[in-house]
Structure formats: structure tokens, C-alpha cells
Chain A
Amino acid sequence: MGTGHGHRLYRHGDTVVHRLPAHTKLVALVLFVLTVVATPREQYWAFGAYLVLLAAVSVAAAVPAGFIARRMVVELPFVAFAILLPFIAHGPRTEFLGLTVSESGLLGGWNILAKATLGVIASILLAATTEPRELLAGMRRLRVPPLLVEITSFMVRYADVVTDEMRRMRIARESRGFQASHLGHLQVVARSAGALFIRSYERGERVHLAMLSRGYTGVMPMLDNRVTPSNAWLVAGAVPLLAALIAATAWSLT
């Protein structure tokens, strides 16, 4: 705990992108991802154009490529799946890099890989330029159901507390000579997970008591009442708008 400022995904800065209100960025992200997903997969150039668009945003936000690349590890399981597809899919075969692979599988793999990568990059850019609490405020402004926002907000707040508790439990386990080396040890780890669950549950109860003590009646008070400048929507909307142009061109060429 207490390592530096802000969240690990956040990169401190004061750029146009950082200053945009969170809810405009959230809407832009969703629109962008939907546009990318709706683009026909055979129009390869369109995905290159999307990438250029994201690169432009990352330059504007002063987020270096290396920062994004490191955080893209999260995509690896999907990459593995996308690479498998050409080999396991049926249909007519084709030659690719000296291998005989399924044509539809190859296209399907490319489809997943390209669209997922663009989505992940866009999400990383959002997270890098928006603090978690701003995102939560943004969700509230977009009228996401308050219960969902509260659950997310508690998750953001207590993720570190719970991981820290988990780390302390692991250290205590290992200090008594425990090393998870074979499958039988899974039982011990499972018990720790159970204990952690009970602890978190009890903490939940204590947090609730503390909230009641300060007058909580089941509705979160609205603490954020800033006004959104209208040009913020224009700036944030530029990205999905350009993406929509690309998609429209891609469709007209199909």
C-alpha cells in the first residue's frame, strides 16, 4: 500500500485528454469500440486507420507507447485464442506463413485480435487519463444505476485493502513453512481464500455500520455538481466521429 499517487493504470498529466470530463470520455470510448466492432473484418486498412487515430490520442494525452504496451498484457488470453482459431476452425484451407490453416479461422482470428487490441488500447488510454474516482463520477452522471456505481466504487476503494490482507496471510502462511508445491496444497490456499472472504464480509458489515452512523439512508449523496462545458463533448466526440467516418467508408467499399 501507499505506492505513489493514484492508481497503477493512471498516468498523471495535464493534457487536453486529461482535462476532459470523465463521462464524455466514457461515451466516446463506448462509441469508438462499437464502431470498431461494426467494421467489416476484410477491410484491413480501416483497422490501421483506427490505430493511427488512437496513436494521435496517445500523443495528445502524452501517454508513451511503452506505457500502453506493458498494460496490454491483459489481452494475452485472447491473443492465445485468436492464434489457435486458424488451426482448429473448419472450412477451406489456405497457406499462411508456410502453414496450411483454415481460411475462415484465419479471418476470425484476425477479427478478434484486431478488434480486441483496438478496444484494449482505447480502454488503457481512458484509464491512463482518468482517475478512478472521476470515472465513478462520470458513471453517475451518465445515470448508470447508483447501485452499480456504489459497488464499483467500493471495489476501487477496497481492492488494495483486500490484496494487502491477502498478502499478509500469504506471508504468515509461508513464515510457518508452507510452500504451495503440489495440488494437495490447494486445500490450504482454498481455506485462506475462505478466511479472506469471511474477513471481507465482516469488514463490509463494519463499513455499513460506519455509514449508518453518519446518516446513510440507502442513497448516496450527490457530491459532484460541476457543469460540463459544451465544447468538451465536441472534443471527446471527435474520436468516435472520425472512427464512424472510417467505418462508413469501409462499409461502402465492401
Chain B
Amino acid sequence: MSSLPSLDVRGLAYAYPDGHQALFGVDLTVEQGERVAVLGPNGAGKTTLVLHLNGILGGGLGTVTVAGVAVVKEQLSEVRRRVGIVFQDPDDQLFMPTVRDDVAFGPANFGVCGVELEARVARALDQVGMAAYADRPPHHLSFGQRRRVAVATVLATEPEILILDEPSSNLDPASRRELADVLRSLDVTILMVTHDLPYALELCDRAVVLSDGVVVADGPTRELLCDDALMRAHRLELPFGFDPRLTGASVS
């Protein structure tokens, strides 16, 4: 099992029912334990790609395989246990009356119950440093805390791969750093979809650039960010004053 890549996407193409084609043959392989950033401007097809990885969207061409399990209708439950998606707006993800119930929701759906369920919830909340907030209603937490709880709701299902959609959006610098610490401490494969380039460099050694529905570049994050022509061609701009050549080695 360990030799299989966590995620294997081949020739994935997809057009929305209204005819708008979002993906034109995406190829992407993520090995176990890797942290990979998917970079791309708005409208590049990043979210469409994410929704294919656990079979929410499908029906186009190409295949998605998660640690050897093909993403097809018959195996959706198993696929969704293995693929944990953290959505951009934590208010979309956290819908139960308390943090504890919300973290328990995923594993309970997959048949975990009793003492094992409690242990999973406790462990997941502990991993994101939110154990003290288990009995709070989610809407009483700060945005950064809600984002971390959203990560816990997915960790509790013990996924093969953790997928984060714009994890740093709307976070203040402290919450951003706290989330980075949490993500670095996790022993799980991570695919991070973002246009926050410094964050990608900080957390991921490898990055792919998704533009107009295809992967146009795949390599070490720093090299990609230093390729000015590539960055410009795909509307990926570094923030003012940020030079990837001058920052310290990304922390693995």
C-alpha cells in the first residue's frame, strides 16, 4: 500500500453542464507524505479539480485514483473517507451545534462510534490545538479558530490525503502562522490549492501551476516562483517586497 501514490490524476477533463469547460486534461501524481501546492489564478479550474478528487464532480474524461482506489460511484464512501477536503469558508463546513459534534460528524458517517469516536474527536482537536473549545458553538469562535476546527473535522476521518482550498484566505498574520504550524505538524499527505505564493513556498517543497484547465508547470516551489516568465504568463504575482530567492529554505 505504501508504494502507491496518495493521489493519481490522469487526463482529467471536465465541462460544466452549461458548456463551460474548466479542465482540459489534468495529470497530477502526489506521493505519500508529500506536501504539494496547486497554484493558479482565479478561474484556473482549481476548485473544479478539488471537487473531482472525492467524486463530488465527475462524468468527464480521465481518472482519479486515491491510494489505489478509483474514484467511481461504487466506491464513493471509501474515497470520501480517504480524501479530506477543507473548504474555503469554514462556515460552510461547520454546521453542527458544537465543535465536538461537528468533528464527530465525519467519522460517525463512516461507522465509527462509542469510545473510538470520542478518541478520534479528541485527537483531531488536539492536533489543531482546539481541544479546549470542544463544547463551543462554531459561530462563537474567531475565523482562524473556525478554520482550524474545519481542518480537525477532516482529520477525524483519518484521511489518506488532506486537501485544503485556499487555507490562508481571510486569516490575519497570527492565525496564518498558527495554521501553518498545525499543517507542518501533521503526518499526512497534503494538497494545498492556493494563490498565496509565500504560503505555498513556506509549506510545500513542490508546486504545480494550473492554468486554463491544464497543469503547465510542476517542480520545486522555489524554482517555479523564481521563474518570472512563467509567473507572469499565468497571472501569478508575488506580493510587493517578497523575493523567493531571499527567503530562507522552506521548512519541511
Q: Do A and B come from one complex?
A: yes
Identify the A interface with B (CB < 8 A).
1-2, 5-6, 132-133, 136, 153-154, 156-158, 160-161, 203, 206-207, 209-217, 221-223
Partner of A216, one of B98, B101, B109: B109
B110 in the interface (beta carbon within 8 A): yes
B54 in the interface (beta carbon within 8 A): yes
Check B87–A210 contact: CB distance below 8 A: yes
Q: Which of B89-113 contact A (CB under 8 A)?
A: 89, 91-93, 95-98, 101, 104-106, 108-110, 113
Partner of A207, one of B51, B92, B136: B92
A164 to chain B, nearest CB (A): 9
B206 in the interface (beta carbon within 8 A): no
Docked CA distance A132–B140 (Å) = 14
Residue-wise, chain B 152-173 has the 8 Å CB interface mask toward A (1 for contact) of 0110010000000000000000
Identify the B interface with A (CB < 8 A).
51, 54, 56, 77, 80-81, 83-85, 87, 89, 91-93, 95-98, 101, 104-106, 108-110, 113, 136-142, 153-154, 157
Known pairs A132-B97, A213-B80, A213-B85; A206 contacts B106 (CB<8 A): no
Docked CA distance A253–B54 (Å) = 69
A6 to chain B, nearest CB (A): 8
Partner of A215, one of B51, B81, B93: B81
Docked CA distance A53–B54 (Å) = 56
Docked CA distance A32–B54 (Å) = 50
Extra contacts, 15 of them, besides A210-B85, A221-B104 (Cβ < 8 A), are: A1-B139, A2-B140, A133-B98, A133-B137, A156-B97, A157-B95, A157-B97, A157-B139, A158-B95, A161-B139, A210-B92, A214-B105, A214-B106, A215-B77, A221-B105
Docked CA distance A222–B101 (Å) = 10
CB closest chain-B residue, reference A150: B95
Chain B residues with CB under 8 Å of A136's CB are 97
Known pairs A2-B139, A2-B142, A157-B139; A211 contacts B95 (CB<8 A): yes
Chain B residues with CB under 8 Å of A212's CB are 56, 80
Check B104–A161 contact: CB distance below 8 A: no
Chain B residues with CB under 8 Å of A222's CB are 108
Check B109–A217 contact: CB distance below 8 A: yes
Docked CA distance A213–B105 (Å) = 11
What are 17 A-B contacts with C-beta separation under 8 Å?
Answer: A1-B140, A5-B140, A133-B97, A136-B97, A153-B97, A157-B95, A158-B91, A158-B95, A206-B89, A207-B95, A209-B51, A210-B92, A214-B80, A214-B84, A214-B153, A215-B110, A221-B113
CB closest chain-B residue, reference A1: B139
Partner of B101, one of A6, A209, A217, A223: A223
Check B157–A214 contact: CB distance below 8 A: yes
A35 to chain B, nearest CB (A): 30
Chain B residues with CB under 8 Å of A156's CB are 97
A138 to chain B, nearest CB (A): 12
Docked CA distance A207–B102 (Å) = 12
Known pairs A209-B56, A210-B87, A223-B108; A203 contacts B92 (CB<8 A): yes
Chain A residues with CB under 8 Å of B141's CB are 2
Of B105, B136, B138, chain A has the most CB atoms within 10 Å of the CB of B105
B190 to chain A, nearest CB (A): 16
Chain A residues with CB under 8 Å of B95's CB are 154, 157-158, 207, 210-211
- Which 4 pairs across A and B sit closest by C-beta, in order of nearness? A133-B97, A221-B108, A215-B109, A214-B106
Docked CA distance A234–B83 (Å) = 48
CB closest chain-A residue, reference B104: A223
Of B87, B109, B138, chain A has the most CB atoms within 10 Å of the CB of B109
CB closest chain-B residue, reference A131: B97
Chain B residues with CB under 8 Å of A157's CB are 95-97, 137-139
Chain B residues with CB under 8 Å of A213's CB are 54, 56, 80, 83-85, 87
Chain A residues with CB under 8 Å of B97's CB are 132-133, 136, 153, 156-157
Chain B residues with CB under 8 Å of A1's CB are 139-140
B54 to chain A, nearest CB (A): 6
Chain B residues with CB under 8 Å of A5's CB are 136, 140
Docked CA distance A133–B97 (Å) = 6
A229 to chain B, nearest CB (A): 20
Chain A residues with CB under 8 Å of B136's CB are 5
Check A215–B157 contact: CB distance below 8 A: yes
Chain A residues with CB under 8 Å of B91's CB are 158, 161, 203
